[in-house]
Amino acid sequence: MLMITGENNRDFKFDNKVEVVGQINGKVVVLNGGSLSVRGQINNGLVIKEGAEVFLHGQVNGDVINEGGTLYVLGYINGRLFRERGITNIYKDAFIKEM
């Protein structure tokens, strides 16, 4: 598993297993086969493609778009959540600014 720590100022695309415990200042796209665990912060949005999986325990500042993957929201979305396709699970303690 790849672990992202510290402050990262660029966009990312993942098709493998990744954990973010730091901060990403860029757009993140999780591709088919990718699994992302967010315990840190993503600034500039998150896109979940078909066949991808995301566990959001931390925070996303920007829009989150589920285009066919599986999304578990346990943390914070300071933006809009778009559930276009796939499965989106929102837990009771999660915070979403706009749906």
Region 21-36: what's the mean pLDDT? Answer: 98
Ranges of each domain in the chain: 2-98
d(CA 65, CA 89): 13
Confidence tier at 98 by pLDDT (50, 70, 90):
confident
pLDDT for 1 equals 86
Check pLDDT > 90 for residue 65.
Answer: yes
Read off the pLDDT band of 80 (50, 70, 90).
very high
- Which residue, among 87, 96, 34, has the nearest Cα to 64 in the 3D structure? 96
pTM of the entire predicted model: 0.95
What mean pLDDT comes out for the span 41-46? 97
Look at residue 47 in the predicted model and tell me its pLDDT: 98
